[in-house]
Amino acid sequence: MSKNILVVDDSASIRQVVSMALKDAGHQVVTAEHGADALGKLDGQRFHLIVSDVNMPVMDGIAFVKEVKKRADHKFTPILMLTTESEEGKKMEGKAAGAKAWLVKPFKPELLLAAVSKLA
């Protein structure tokens, strides 16, 4: 079943790779360059899943997750962090903010799609 997924990453190449993997699996994808950009794209749209980087300019992924969870219409939207960050402290910070899963870059598309099928 097709899901509507928001992909948030400051790297155009990562947005492209993630989008391609998701679209090839039949999903619809909306992209954003950073947390503030992504917040603007939440208005009026329903997403089954958000995939977000942690380290981004303007608004990082942890701050973005906190803001998403404050919004009644997106409070229960699952968020997958896709990042180069692998230290336990950062993962705990993400989980405390409301992230449901953590995938470390570089990633295999199969792992991303497996996470999407579990979360969305």
Structure-token match 């097709």, residue found:
2
pTM, entire model? 0.95
* pLDDT per residue as tens, the chain (120 positions): 789 999 999 999 999 999 999 999 999 999 999 999 999 999 888 999 999 999 999 999 999 999 999 999 999 999 999 999 899 999 999 999 999 999 999 989 999 999 999 998
